[in-house]
């Protein structure tokens, strides 16, 4: 029940592909010919379909979403006294780069979330108009409550005021439909190890054609080694150093598996509802955003700190959950849980039986206070 | 008794939490904690215990040999030394 951190289990094909990859001859570092299979390009093609973009080469692949977000936030041409608009729902993967930007004279303004962790498009629009930011950053869905934000509307509001728009899809890609070109999104970061069902060490950044970022990380590219700067063309412009080839073989297997085995969204929603109803019914304080929502649920059990409850759920019942601030410290006051929450996050593989086991375990805790 | 210790973290910068792997179970440890406020809960699938004294908390599964200790932010070094000395001096 900790899939919002890293999904588990993975399709069998993922591990098999990774094991095969470490035994085979490594890739050709951007120099391969027609007969070479470039796993990174194959992944880009699969991701382009999922993201709704027509230029796979605009997807730079790195080690995770944090990498992509750092490339975007530090690569975008911000100047002293420029404003960046973000939200209270952001993860530290966005917040900590923003805190660093503040040290260089960039002003950062945060849009508060509602009590369910959602950013209201009207409030976002008002704040964009008021602060006239150069760059707007939005978490597509809260990793704490699962509330999915209206990225299309908020991107339009940002563009209407001349701001660029960066979307953090860490939680959503693979679970929520995304149409980046249709929404006109400028940049979007993603990770492979959550709802894409791939391994850790995969993730990256989509950059809309026409946008030129100053690479945050620079280094070897295998090609154009006689240049002092990174090559201009994407994706190699942002891809310094040797990529994580075995893990990208795993991600490719996961993407292909997911395409052939679509998740049963209705069943997932029904299980989440059963979980939320059950927890509410026994007196837990549950954050319940309206749909659209990720299969993520935050709650607290009266009489226990989140950490105490989490320790018991894990130690006594083998229920792996996450407790605390979930790397989203600004959101806690908005949802009225300053000491953090217990977070349960399902995957497509979570069964009804597992939901019932969670409810039985929490019943024991509630009745033991 | 001999033990292995590892710092474990949570979300808060002030957390001073350590795990200890012991040669005895939580149940056996709890029985030796004279002067501590010890509570057991046998309702859970694997029964648990917690023990508190002067802001320090030891907790874990009664049948397991790994316990978690929360020290206070202010005096954690002194508390940690004290508990570890006591563990070392306690015979199994």
> B11, A329: Cβ pair inside 8 Å?
yes
Q: Based on the domain organization, do A99 and A206 belong to the same domain?
A: yes
The domain boundary residue, chosen from A230, A260, A290: A260
Contacts of B45 in chain A (CB under 8 A): 316-317, 361, 364
> B68, A311: Cβ pair inside 8 Å?
yes
Spell out, as residue ranges, where chain A has pLDDT lower than 50.
none
What pLDDT digit, counting tens, does each position of A11-32 carry?
A: 999 999 999 999 998 887 777 7
Distance CA A344, CA A240 (A): 36
Contacts of A319 in chain B (CB under 8 A): none
What pLDDT digit, counting tens, does each position of A248-298 carry?
A: 999 999 999 999 999 999 999 999 999 999 999 999 999 999 999 999 999
The domain boundary residue, chosen from A214, A237, A260: A260
What pLDDT digit, counting tens, does each position of B54-75 carry?
A: 999 999 999 999 999 999 999 9
Contacts of B60 in chain A (CB under 8 A): 315
> A316, B47: Cβ pair inside 8 Å?
yes
What pLDDT does residue B14 have?
85
Q: What is the CATH number of the domain that holds A167?
A: 3.40.640.10
- Closest to A316 (Cβ–Cβ): which among B11, B46, B68? B46
Q: Based on the domain organization, do A178 and A240 belong to the same domain?
A: yes
This prediction's pTM? 0.96
Q: Which 8-state DSSP code applies to residue A184?
A: T
- Closest to A316 (Cβ–Cβ): which among B10, B12, B61? B61
Distance CA B77, CA B73 (A): 9
Total structural domains within chain A: 2
- Closest to B45 (Cβ–Cβ): which among A317, A325, A367? A317
At A163, list the tokens: 């701001």
Domain spans of chain B, in order of start? 4-89
> A317, B46: Cβ pair inside 8 Å?
yes
What pLDDT does residue A234 have?
97
Spell out, as residue ranges, where chain B has pLDDT lower than 50.
none
Q: Based on the domain organization, do A24 and A57 belong to the same domain?
A: yes
Q: Based on the domain organization, do A93 and A164 belong to the same domain?
A: yes
Q: Based on the domain organization, do A184 and A242 belong to the same domain?
A: yes
**B26: helix, strand or coil:** helix
**A165: helix, strand or coil:** strand
Q: Based on the domain organization, do A299 and A253 belong to the same domain?
A: no
- Closest to A364 (Cβ–Cβ): which among B11, B44, B61? B44
What pLDDT digit, counting tens, does each position of A348-364 carry?
A: 999 999 999 999 999 99
Q: What is the domain extent for residue A274? A: 265-367
DSSP secondary structure, B40-75, as one string: EE-SSSS-EEEEEETTEEEEEETT-SEEEEEPPTTT
Contacts of A324 in chain B (CB under 8 A): 10-12
Contacts of A329 in chain B (CB under 8 A): 11
What is the ipTM score, two decimals? Answer: 0.94
């Amino acid at each position: 029940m900790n899939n919002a951190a890293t999904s588990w289990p993975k399709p069998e094909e993922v591990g098999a592909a990774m094991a095969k990859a470490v035994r085979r001859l490594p890739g050709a570092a951007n120099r391969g010919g027609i007969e070479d299979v470039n796993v990174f390009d194959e992944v880009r093609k699969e991701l382009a379909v999922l993201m709704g973009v027509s230029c796979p080469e605009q997807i730079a692949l790195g080690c995770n979403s944090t990498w992509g977000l750092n490339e975007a936030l530090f690569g975008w041409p911000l100047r002293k006294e420029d404003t960046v608009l973000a939200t209270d729902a952001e993860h530290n993967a966005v917040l900590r780069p923003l805190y660093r930007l503040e040290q260089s004279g960039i002003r950062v303004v945060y849009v508060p979330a509602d009590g369910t962790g959602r950013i209201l498009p009207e409030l976002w629009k008002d704040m964009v108009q008021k602060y006239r930011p150069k760059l707007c950053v939005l978490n597509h869905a809260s990793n704490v409550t699962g509330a999915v934000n209206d990225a299309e509307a908020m991107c339009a509001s940002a563009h209407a005021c001349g701001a660029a728009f960066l979307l953090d899809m860490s939680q959503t890609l693979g679970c929520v439909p995304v149409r980046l070109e249709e929404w006109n999104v400028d940049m979007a970061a993603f990770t492979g190890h959550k709802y894409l069902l791939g391994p850790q060490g995969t993730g990256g950044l989509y950059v809309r054609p026409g946008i030129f970022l100053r690479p945050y990380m620079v280094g070897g590219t295998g090609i154009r080694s006689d240049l002092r700067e990174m090559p201009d063309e994407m994706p190699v412009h942002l891809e310094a150093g040797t990529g994580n080839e075995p893990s990208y073989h795993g991600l490719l297997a996961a993407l292909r598996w997911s395409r052939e085995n679509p998740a049963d969204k209705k069943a997932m929603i029904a299980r989440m509802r059963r979980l939320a109803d059950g927890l509410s019914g026994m007196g837990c304080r549950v954050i319940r955003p309206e749909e659209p929502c990720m299969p993520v649920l935050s709650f607290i059990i009266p009489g226990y700190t989140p950490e105490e409850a989490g320790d018991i759920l894990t130690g006594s019942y083998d229920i792996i959950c996450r407790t605390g601030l979930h790397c989203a410290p600004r959101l806690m006051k908005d949802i009225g849980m300053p000491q953090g929450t217990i977070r349960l996050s399902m995957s497509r593989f979570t069964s009804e039986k597992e939901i019932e086991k969670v409810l039985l375990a929490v019943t024991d805790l509630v009745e033991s206070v | 008794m001999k033990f292995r210790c590892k710092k474990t973290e949570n979300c808060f910068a002030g957390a001073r939490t350590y795990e200890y792997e012991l040669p005895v179970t939580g149940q056996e440890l709890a029985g030796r904690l004279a002067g501590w406020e010890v509570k057991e809960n046998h309702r859970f699938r694997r029964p648990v215990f917690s023990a508190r004294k002067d802001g320090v908390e030891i907790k874990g599964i009664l049948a397991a040999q790994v316990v978690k200790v929360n020290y206070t932010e202010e005096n954690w070094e002194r508390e940690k030394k004290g508990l570890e000395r006591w563990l070392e001096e306690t015979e199994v």
